[in-house]
Structure 1
Amino acid sequence: MHPRVGVPLIALALAGMASMQFAPSVTDEPSVATITEPPTIAGVVVPHHEIVAHERRAVLQAVADQTSAPTALVILSPNHFVQGDAAVVTTDRTWNLSSGQRSVYRPLLDDLRERGIALDDQIFDREHGVPSVLADAAAAFPGVPVLPLIIDEAATQSQRAALATMLAQRCPTCLLVASVDFSHDQPPRLAQLHDVRSIRALRSCEQDAIRMIEVDSRAVLSVTCAYATQRGASTFTLLSHTNSGLITEDPHARATTHVMGYFGPQQDNASSTVAGTTTLMFGGDVMLGRCVGHRYGADLSQVFSELGRRFFWGVDAAVVNLEGPISDHAGAHTCENTFSFLFAPEVPDLLREHYLTHVSLANNHALDDGWAGYERTRELLGEVGVTPVGAPRELSEASVARIEGPEPVALLALHTLYGTPEGIPERISELSEEGYAVVVFPHWGEEYQREPSSRQRALARAWVAAGADLIIGAHPHVLQEVEVIDGVPVLYSLGNLVFDQEFREDTQVGAVAGVGISSSNVSLTLVPIRIERSVPRVWRDNAGLRFLTERTDLWESFRRDPANPHYVFPRPREQVLE
């Protein structure tokens, strides 16, 4: 079995939590937390996914061994099937468990009912987020009454805050048990990358951070963090981080991940450092006109239907190359062989709804609607919160986007097809000296050529020498070979992501790059993509993995997972500076 990411839970349950490592995410360095006295634990996060039922029970028992018995166990579950109309639902049923009957905590139930919380016992018959977690929590805390609550994801932030306050006021010695699975349906290594931001959000316990993570219930975690904060116990200790795809050693799995830990007071000798990794995803060329617009113009969301809304969700920045302007007068699309692209006004909303945060306009189609069209595109994107980066020809302030995260990242989008703008190495050096990890996203090379050109290689060497930490390219419409230059990974072209170039096999396959950048390394996870009638989907078979590994053999010495195209590159310049 694949070694799991995290502490062995059996040893944990037997030995207690006297000296414990934080489970590292893909790119995080482990730190150590030592518990010197029994903590006041306000909340526990455990999964309802049964593949890790044994670990869940061990975590709950370990927490029970380290804290006094709470007044009640409040089980918080997602509303997986969107049942009923209420934002929060509870039940007054008595639970028949293997450990015996367990009654609800009537004083809290009555208080919540008086404050408008709905009672709907029927919903609990179908909701799988409650029974196993409730049973395991009850077994760990014998005799403690329970109160399950189902929280709809549509609950507003004010409703979530009000519930947390009610719980803190009416039961300040309850233990909240958050029944939450984390990343869903993604390739295993991409799911791990998504979890980096999720774990960071738990460690910060900030509501804005929780709103951005890819989990099955942000609402449950929002209430748990707010309650823990009001209890003065909002420091999250990570006990285990597992992944169904890694557990089953299936690189093609639609993985579910599991983050387990508890919220308690800050320990004097415990690490309070938030995970220092900024996470990004890069897709290739996206063209939403011509045949794509003709086929799906009535509902452009079909273009991302196979990837789904979760695919680009959960990272600090998700970036693609947008091959054309967004126009108020795009008109009807046809499949005629035109090379001037205009995209419909609903495209910005489409990008935002699928969690794409940045698009490069540094390409040869940015001016297909003239300079006024380019400026209008920037305006339309900005109105919905999608950041345009890159200028059509020159190097300017528009060429740089600064990405917020634990490790500052500068994204530099460049267009070099009509000549290389002056001052690029100097700009890279400036950004590096300002403390940014520099990711260069160039539009370059020759169409349909699998091998990068000598000019691409020369530019890459110059940019690495200037301080670039990662180079990921676009424009050739095919996945090109990779290189390592002085320890820096160079992906010359990711190929297409959304396009209508169906006249070649290699224009209908490509890759998406998942990136983690910390002060000590750059990690890269590559996801193979196959395009059918302009719709990209994850290529989930061995042929897809072979397609990637055949093109990344120069990275083999940096590979960190035999079953997945996952690589880690040290950042030697940063280490020298330290």
Structure 2
Amino acid sequence: MIFLGDIAHPWDDTPHWADGKPPWENQPVVVNLEGTLVGNAAPMGHRRLFNKPSILDALKKYNVQVLSLANNHAMDWPDQFEDALQNLKEQGFVTVGAGMDSEEAAQSVEIEENGRRIFFLAFGWETIECEAATTRKPGVNSLKPGPMLDSIRALRSRESEAVIAILPHWNYEMEVYPQPAHRQLAFAAIEAGADAVIGHHPHRVGGIEFHRGKLIAYSIGNFWLPQGAFFDGELRFAGDACLELAIEWRPDAPAMAHWFRYSPADHSLSHMASEPLTDSLELKKRSGFAGLGHDEYKVWFRANRVKRKLLPIYDNYQNVMGNRMRDRYVLLRHKGLVALERSGLRRLMGL
């Protein structure tokens, strides 16, 4: 099984990488579809992401079977969400993490690989504007620790022999290290019965760890999110976001890291190397915290985190009231940054 990062496709033509052969043998592929499928012209100037229908051929050529929709751009085009969801299912894709109501969004999905049943659950962190589904409106499966862990335990209880992979959309953009609360939650997910935790959202590759022998990849970055196209050409990321990671994983064999390089100049996506995941010097560099206790990691994270400008640290997923206060602050900060951006001051201030 292959895990790819964020995919958003702004053009009518199929992306060129679909014409090449991936560096792995044919097997199921799981991606984070960052933005809904849109059937008409989508204005680039809006602060929204989307996928043109031309992406579907590329996904099929890569044998993509599972699409996680639990992200902060799933509801950027709410008037097209229902049609997009139906279209994806009719095209043969399995979608997880979003739905027309909270019950559908929270459902696990299943595929089969070589006779083995594999289940997926996906969750989106509301703090980063993942719009949660309710009983009356569509949206994503909210990343709330209690319900998340309960759903994993319930699934493990029903499917004692199956493989369970968890797909959380979390952390701040461009942060390379996990929030202490998210690291705790990943460990708890493994203890509740998950076999792997594969994270998205920061748009850069993060570190990895193994807990009880189970893989945790905190962020696998982008896979295909062209720079200089969305947001009226303003959406660009730091250079480190051009390093892309595909993880080849199965629970009974060593995992592999397949490295790609994206070029903003010509939008090329080139395979660089493939290596055993645990041998990767690049991943070891990003995983300097591996093996620390949770209290030790809090200290380590404060000293080493990347995103520092007026952003709170989430240091305990069980601190419900404290995290709600942090959530409100982050939301107000985001509104302030949007106002600064519209005024042209955000870039001048370096925020």
Q: Which amino acid aligns with 2:244?
A: G
Q: Which amino acid aligns with 1:424?
A: M
Contact 1:399 1:414 in 2 (8 A): no
Gaps of 5+ in 2: 128-141, 228-235, 292-351
Q: Name which of 482, 502, 511 aligns with 2:245.
A: 511
Q: Which amino acid aligns with 1:391?
A: A
Q: Tell me how far apart the structure 1 counterparts of residues 83 and 274 of structure 2 sit (CA, whole Å).
A: 41
Structure 1 residue 547 corresponds to structure 2 residue 282: yes
Residue 417 (structure 1) shift: 3.2
Q: Name which of 5, 11, 16 aligns with 1:302.
A: 16
Residue 398 (structure 1) shift: 5.5
Q: Tell me how far apart the structure 1 counterparts of residues 272 and 222 of structure 2 sit (CA, whole Å).
A: 14
Residue 309 (structure 1) shift: 3.9
What is the DSSP-based 3-state SS (H/G/I as helix, E as strand, rest coil) of the residue aligned with 2:126?
coil
Contact 1:328 1:344 in 2 (8 A): yes
Q: Tell me how far apart the structure 2 counterparts of residues 411 and 355 of structure 1 sit (CA, whole Å).
A: 17
Q: Tell me how far apart the structure 2 counterparts of residues 545 and 465 of structure 1 sit (CA, whole Å).
A: 26
Residue number in structure 1 paired with 2:4? 283
Residue number in structure 1 paired with 2:60? 352
Residue 380 (structure 1) shift: 1.4
Question: Equivalent residues in 2 for 1:557-576 (5 A)?
Answer: none
Contact 1:285 1:474 in 2 (8 A): yes
Q: Tell me how far apart the structure 2 counterparts of residues 454 and 555 of structure 1 sit (CA, whole Å).
A: 12
Larger radius of gyration: 1
Question: Equivalent residues in 2 for 1:151-170 (5 A)?
Answer: none
Change (3 A) 1:516 1:460: same
Q: Tell me how far apart the structure 2 counterparts of residues 352 and 410 of structure 1 sit (CA, whole Å).
A: 20
Q: Name which of 184, 199, 212 aligns with 1:486.
A: 212
Q: Tell me how far apart the structure 1 counterparts of residues 112 and 273 of structure 2 sit (CA, whole Å).
A: 32
Structure 1 residue 387 corresponds to structure 2 residue 94: yes
Q: Name which of 34, 49, 71 aligns with 1:363.
A: 71
Residue number in structure 2 paired with 1:258? none
Change (3 A) 1:445 1:522: farther
Q: Tell me how far apart the structure 1 counterparts of residues 187 and 280 of structure 2 sit (CA, whole Å).
A: 28
Q: Which amino acid aligns with 1:283?
A: L
What is the DSSP-based 3-state SS (H/G/I as helix, E as strand, rest coil) of the residue aligned with 2:116?
coil
Question: Equivalent residues in 2 for 1:399-418 (5 A)?
Answer: 399-405=107-113, 406-418=115-127
Q: Name which of 432, 441, 464 aligns with 2:190.
A: 464
Residue 343 (structure 1) shift: 2.3
Structure 1 residue 429 corresponds to structure 2 residue 153: yes
Structure 1 residue 323 corresponds to structure 2 residue 49: no
Summarize deviations over 1:27-85 as a string: whole Å, max 9, x none: xxxxxxxxxxxxxxxxxxxxxxxxxxxxxxxxxxxxxxxxxxxxxxxxxxxxxxxxxxx
Q: Which amino acid aligns with 1:550?
A: K
Aligned residues: 259
Contact 2:14 2:57 in 1 (8 A): no
Q: Tell me how far apart the structure 1 counterparts of residues 82 and 253 of structure 2 sit (CA, whole Å).
A: 34
Q: Tell me how far apart the structure 1 counterparts of residues 171 and 154 of structure 2 sit (CA, whole Å).
A: 25
Contact 1:348 1:380 in 2 (8 A): no
Stretches of 4+ aligned residues off by more than 6 angstroms: 553-556
Structure 1 residue 420 corresponds to structure 2 residue 155: no
Q: Tell me how far apart the structure 1 counterparts of residues 204 and 50 of structure 2 sit (CA, whole Å).
A: 22
Using CA pairs under 8 Å that are at least 6 residues apart, name the structure with larger relative contact order, 1 or 2. 2
Q: Which amino acid aligns with 2:83?
A: R
Q: Tell me how far apart the structure 2 counterparts of residues 404 and 442 of structure 1 sit (CA, whole Å).
A: 21
What is the DSSP-based 3-state SS (H/G/I as helix, E as strand, rest coil) of the residue aligned with 1:477?
coil
CA RMSD between the two structures: 2.7
Residue number in structure 2 paired with 1:314? 26
Residue 508 (structure 1) shift: 0.6
Over the matched positions of the two proteins, sequence identity in percent amounts to 26
Q: Tell me how far apart the structure 1 counterparts of residues 57 and 119 of structure 2 sit (CA, whole Å).
A: 25
Q: Tell me how far apart the structure 1 counterparts of residues 249 and 34 of structure 2 sit (CA, whole Å).
A: 22
Q: Tell me how far apart the structure 1 counterparts of residues 149 and 123 of structure 2 sit (CA, whole Å).
A: 12
Summarize deviations over 1:86-117 as a string: whole Å, max 9, x none: xxxxxxxxxxxxxxxxxxxxxxxxxxxxxxxx
Q: Which amino acid aligns with 1:288?
A: H
Change (3 A) 1:541 1:514: closer
Residue 496 (structure 1) shift: 0.8
Residue 420 (structure 1) shift: 2.6
Q: Tell me how far apart the structure 2 counterparts of residues 522 and 425 of structure 1 sit (CA, whole Å).
A: 26
Question: Equivalent residues in 2 for 1:234-273 (5 A)?
Answer: none
Contact 2:23 2:258 in 1 (8 A): no
Residue 483 (structure 1) shift: 1.9
Question: TM-score, normalising length from structure 2?
Answer: 0.66
Contact 2:207 2:284 in 1 (8 A): no
